[in-house]
Structure 1
């Protein structure tokens, strides 16, 4: 019985992985420059046989933040046939956002593999993915070097990072004395962030740039 259950679960996860591989986004993040009419990202169905329904919307970064989101996505729901591509267009609907620093939201994309008629017992997979949407006000300067301007200090068993720039910095990796910090996350503009560390030594970090690429390593 246990072997049968394991086989069923393995098939389920394989099917999930296949479904997730069907829809491919044209980036890992979206930069919305203030003053632009819209920001856009492509969505492609890489599957050769299965069509998908694609639903998209924007959420606040914090799950408990219930304020209205000042963005709409067009089209919000559409069918994407095999080996076809479409473009998600994100428009700013107005509102007051900080003008001296970036703001960040979630672009949510859900792809649904529809069941065929007469296949009511067929497993249907819904996959929801999130991509960072950065609102970048005018006049902030160049974001390319923001990750290099981070500074680090030690307070007891805590590593403290300070970001003096108006840009978010998303870490790809962060290590102290060669020991990696698991999922270091992102540090907000003009703010600090701390992690518990056990080792000492040189701080090494890499970041994710606007195009989703990985920067060189910086050290302090």
Structure 2
């Protein structure tokens, strides 16, 4: 059973790294199969020993849940650990994850981004097993399947001591410019600016990347049929998932 469990864990983790469904940020917290997280983002102040995130299961059956913290590229683990890293979550129940920093070097003058990825693996009936043989993570002859489901990845912002407040308070400092068929958003602040949407003349910009890193800029294609305007409407998301709508000058 121990070897089987290790194999399952390997496949789950591999799915988190390479699954296209996981690479995309989800706008909704709940997973389609019933497992979800209690927040859309987590802020980790540099002076904290740990932060927490709740995980819940609204389904009527259990899941095996594995969690990991990945770097911004989602290609390797970040210097954080999650406890418990793997656990059973029964239907209608919730559990609390504890995220702790284990090292790493982060800029002292700006936020850094990582990803907390939570992956539910459902049990399924296994009629080929003996009645007395039961899986340690299942009931009534349930065994864990290794089919890879899409997981939930939410942002983990590591915030150094000199960065105070909420990104919403600094959002007005973001500038927008238009040149040809490209709209550029420039973020001169210490915060990641998390953009919910942006529109010109009522037409929303296509945003493959929904955040602007500190002291950086992002470029977006101007929607077809939109002529140059002198204003852009957009919405920024704060630390707790709250949104602020802003009307900015489009130079």
Pick the aligned partner of 1:178 from 199, 202, 207. 202
Distance between the aligned counterparts of 1:60 and 1:214, measured in 2?
A: 25
The TM-score normalised by the length of structure 2 is: 0.73
Taking a change above 3 Å as real, the CA distance of residues 42 and 116 of structure 1, as seen in their structure-2 partners, is: same
How far does residue 22 in structure 1 lie from its aligned partner after superposition? 1.2
Which residues of 2 match residues 118-137 of structure 1 at below 5 A? 118=127, 126-137=149-160
Alignment correspondent of 1:166:
190
Distance between the aligned counterparts of 1:154 and 1:141, measured in 2?
A: 31
Count of aligned pairs:
199
Taking a change above 3 Å as real, the CA distance of residues 60 and 119 of structure 1, as seen in their structure-2 partners, is: farther
Alignment correspondent of 1:94:
103
Distance between the aligned counterparts of 1:20 and 1:125, measured in 2?
A: 14
After superposition, the C-alpha distances for 1:165-198 in whole angstroms (9 at most, x for unaligned) are 0100111111122211123611010011111215
How far does residue 45 in structure 1 lie from its aligned partner after superposition? 1.1
Which residues of 2 match residues 12-91 of structure 1 at below 5 A? 20-47=32-59, 49-64=60-75, 66=76, 69-91=78-100
Q: Are the aligned partners of 1:19 and 1:113 in contact in 2 as well (CA < 8 Å)?
A: no
Pick the aligned partner of 2:221 from 161, 183, 196. 196
Alignment correspondent of 2:19:
none
Distance between the aligned counterparts of 2:128 and 2:81, measured in 1?
A: 34
Unaligned runs of 5+ in 2: 1-29, 130-143
2:243 pairs with 1:214: yes
Q: Identify the range of structure 1 (18-27 vs 82-91) with the bigger mean alpha-carbon deviation.
A: 18-27
Q: Are the aligned partners of 1:20 and 1:127 in contact in 2 as well (CA < 8 Å)?
A: no
Q: Identify the range of structure 1 (35-44 vs 195-204) with the bigger mean alpha-carbon deviation.
A: 195-204
2:171 pairs with 1:147: yes
Distance between the aligned counterparts of 1:114 and 1:53, measured in 2?
A: 8
Q: Are the aligned partners of 1:169 and 1:186 in contact in 2 as well (CA < 8 Å)?
A: yes
The TM-score normalised by the length of structure 1 is: 0.83
Q: Are the aligned partners of 2:206 and 2:221 in contact in 1 as well (CA < 8 Å)?
A: no
Unaligned runs of 5+ in 1: 1-17
After superposition, the C-alpha distances for 1:148-167 in whole angstroms (9 at most, x for unaligned) are 21011122221111101010
Which residues of 2 match residues 2-21 of structure 1 at below 5 A? 20-21=32-33
Q: Cα RMSD (Å) of the superposition?
A: 2.2
Q: Are the aligned partners of 2:31 and 2:152 in contact in 1 as well (CA < 8 Å)?
A: no
